[in-house]
A and B are shown apart, each in its own frame.
Chain A
Amino acid sequence: MGMVSFEEVVSTVVELFRKAETELPEDVLKALKRAYNREENEVARNTLRAIIQNVEASRKLRVPMCQDTGLPIIFVEIGQELCLNFNLRDAIVEGVKRATKEVPLRPNAVHPLTRENPGTNVGMHVPVVTTEIIEGDKLKLTVMPKGAGSENVSALRMLLPSQAGDVERFVLEVVKGAGGKPCPPIVVGVGIGSTFDGAAKLAKKALLRNMTEMDEFELGLLEKVNSLGIGPGGLGGDTTALAVLVEMGHCHTASLPVAVNIQCWANRRASAILR
């Protein structure tokens, strides 16, 4: 039987946010560098160069690479043999509060209508915590600070079962509508199937995958997305997206939900396993 403590979860959450905000994951940096080497548009090359310089500055100075340190999202995978003698959500909330002070994170969470900012990144249903039960006795924590520029241009549509051929069109429409707003080059997370909320969750989870590994369907979509020519910063160019990542789920025979979760170039995420 495993033993994980409250304090261990708190300090892990703080460290994961510090890492996610200041160190862009290797696969994302690799995709950016590859895009820079392939890009032929001069303005686009300059923008990609600035992004790569920014990533390096952030790592060196240990400051958040982007001032939008996102809304705190935490994916939790709990081994079914793990025994916890404390409230896990409370520990995660405490970790977010501490990370907000110590990293520091910009206080982004506000009341949806009054827009009042408590200053802690904690509020109703925030942090957003998704829990999944897995085999074994470990606790895996993954943080994903998600910026609003990209979240705001994400979309979901309930297609008809006869419209399977329109999935691609919908993805392209969402990317086209987003234009320069989400800080391209973007990462496109696509959830196909499941339910209304399930498709959105699949699209978000897709963003956690290694960006350098795509299947044929994803590569085909990526090529079309890049043919749009939006380019880095929306100023035109060959690089509109770094990756298209698709997750599928079975769905009701009468429905075909499709969710497109747009992510900015700063596909920030960090994981740790506790036992």
Chain B
Amino acid sequence: MPMAEYRLETPVSMEEIRKLNVGDVVYITGTMITARDEAHLRMLEYFERGEEIPFKIEDAVIYHCGPIIVEEGGRYRAISAGPTTSARMDPLAPKVLERVERMVIVGKGGMGEGVVRALRGKGVYLAYTGGAGALAAQAIREVKGVYWEDLGMPEAVWIFEVENFGPCIVGIDAKENSLYREVKNRVEENFKRILSQS
């Protein structure tokens, strides 16, 4: 199947999420919210206490990112803001996904089978080029705010307004397909073949 290209605006509807297949290319315009390990843990604490978290994750895109932010004339600016390793959020993301109707995640390196199952009928995982922090920052038009700044710059929740953030590749779709699973299986076969030859 040929790869399709989509330009999505937040909030991304369930209908749009369902259309996406692994391998498709996506550009995002709208709101992205950064959340890494500590922000996930704090979200789960809020959920446990039955409290509302102070920002809306469903209407935005969750971005696994710890940016470099500078303050210039009382305004924040992201100067380098590429994705962080998403797999660290493997044990945490399904618990957050339980609480939402839909979700779009952007990160790098892929996520495990627990997340693949949790995304079924609910969301997608998009991969942005790891380490491309300077490039990513060029798509961030504005840093609209920050929550939980006590977690430190990398772990705080930053609210970005982005324009044509991409190219992102659909790594996991809402139908339990995972590019990472496909690659992993091939790598496992290659590993056995290499060892049998040496």
A interface residues, Cβ below 8 angstroms from B: 43, 46-47, 50-51, 53-54, 57-58, 61, 63-69, 104-108, 110, 115, 117, 119, 147-149, 152, 168-169, 172-173, 176, 179-183, 224, 227-231, 233-236, 264-266
Contacts and interface: CB of A to CB of B under 8 A. Distances in A.
B167 interface: yes
Given A43-B169, A67-B65, A110-B152, A265 B187 contact: no
B32 interface: no
Given A63-B137, A227-B194, A235-B179, A179 B110 contact: yes
Contact of A66 (B88, B133, B155, B191): B133
Contact of B154 (A63, A107, A231): A107
Interface secondary structure of A, over-half rule: loop
Given A43-B169, A69-B68, A179-B180, A54 B153 contact: no
Interface secondary structure of B, over-half rule: mixed
B1 interface: no
Contacts of A105: 68
A235 B84 contact: no
A227 B197 CA distance: 12
Contact of A54 (B85, B135, B193): B135
A235 B171 contact: yes
13 contacts: A54-B134, A64-B80, A66-B80, A67-B136, A105-B68, A110-B152, A149-B84, A176-B191, A181-B85, A181-B87, A183-B131, A227-B193, A227-B194
Given A67-B80, A180-B130, A233-B108, 9 more contacts: A67-B82, A67-B136, A104-B68, A115-B155, A119-B153, A149-B130, A169-B195, A181-B85, A235-B169
B131 A265 contact: yes
Contact of A46 (B130, B133, B154, B167): B167
A149 B65 CA distance: 12
The interface size bin for chain B is 35 or more
Contact of A115 (B38, B65, B127): B38
B184 interface: yes
A233 B127 contact: yes
A114 to B, nearest CB: 11
A67 B136 CA distance: 10
Interface string B117-129: 0000000000101
A79 B85 CA distance: 40
Interface in B7-46: 23, 38
B85 to A, nearest CB: 4
A268 B131 CA distance: 12
B135 A68 contact: no
B133 A229 contact: no
A228 B19 CA distance: 31
Contact of B183 (A50, A68, A231): A231
A57 B134 contact: yes
B106 interface: no
A61 B134 contact: yes
Contacts of B70: 104
A227 B130 CA distance: 21
Contacts of A65: 80, 131-134
Given A104-B70, A181-B85, A183-B108, A51 B190 contact: no
B99 interface: no
Contacts of A117: 151-155
